[in-house]
Amino acid sequence: MFEGVMVAIITPFSDGRVDEEAFRRLINRLIEEGITAIVPCGTTGESATLTHEEHRTVTEICIDEVKGRVPVLAGTGSNSTSEAIDLTRHAKQAGADGALMVSPYYNKPTQEGIYQHFKAVAEAAPLPIILYNIPGRTSSLMLPETIARLAEIDNIVGVKEATGDLNLMARTIELCGPEFTVVSGDDALTLPLLAIGGRGVISVAGQVMPRQMVEMYNAFKDGNWEDCRRRFFDLLPLFRALFLETNPIPVKTALSLMGSIKPGFRLPLCAMSPDNEAKLRQTLIDYGLIQ
């Protein structure tokens, strides 16, 4: 269910509030361009600064607009196990197809603590769960051995890997076996991870150039290796530009420059520096996305 080019969708704001109209437009564009799942309320969706009410509302809007056309993988992670349970239960009740759950951040739990956290959520909220391993943001690395233990729980079905370490990813695939889904959390590692058994990507760039991301993935699935590799290298400048500053600052700036959303972040995120915005603008011009 959770493979291919899935998009970690932004949360657009207008006058400090969630811009529902723009959000619905983004969802429909992504589906029309062929993406395989939508992930609201993740890091790219600025979940850390959404109120609990907004978090639930964004998830509900996404599910309502998608209308079953593709799976919705709702972000429900927290550094509080009880809060993660509440958010995951809500996602299930709202009709989400699964939950994306970041490893607990700030607390720096042990590997046993990480295991017990996800086990508790999985037992309390029987929804398919994709783990999210991103130690650069959480200071909480899930080791492959811990992921393998979690993979034995029926409704923990995969992991989004954003460690940047292909050695760890390969070990996870080795330990968890072919039934466990490993997807990239980094656009620039999509092709390398696919090559060692990954199933796709939860993408940032997929909201800027969704069709091209889907074409790259489809070329891989069809065994057109040279075409896939060419498409991957064609997209690399975009991958780099979208991480000139902290995600989602560049991708929201790009979508704003493209006219898809109004500019708007939640502090402590703020506008790009003029130099980096100029670099991003030139990248979009080079791709023919703006004039």
The closest of 158, 209, 146 to 182, measured between CA atoms, is: 158
Q: From the CA atom positions of the chain, what is the Rg in Å?
A: 18
The closest of 11, 42, 261, 48 to 130, measured between CA atoms, is: 42
Region of residue 108 (phi > 0: left; psi between -120 and 50: alpha; otherwise: beta): left
Catalytic residues: 132, 160
Q: What angle do CA 33, 245, 30 make, to 5 degrees?
A: 10
C-alpha span between 92 and 127 (Å, rounded) = 6
Tokens of 137: 């943001």
Sign of CA dihedral 55, 56, 57, 62: positive
C-alpha span between 254 and 249 (Å, rounded) = 9
- Cα 47 to the chain's mean position, in Å? 12
Number of H helices, E strands in the chain: 12, 10
Tokens of 107: 């607390």
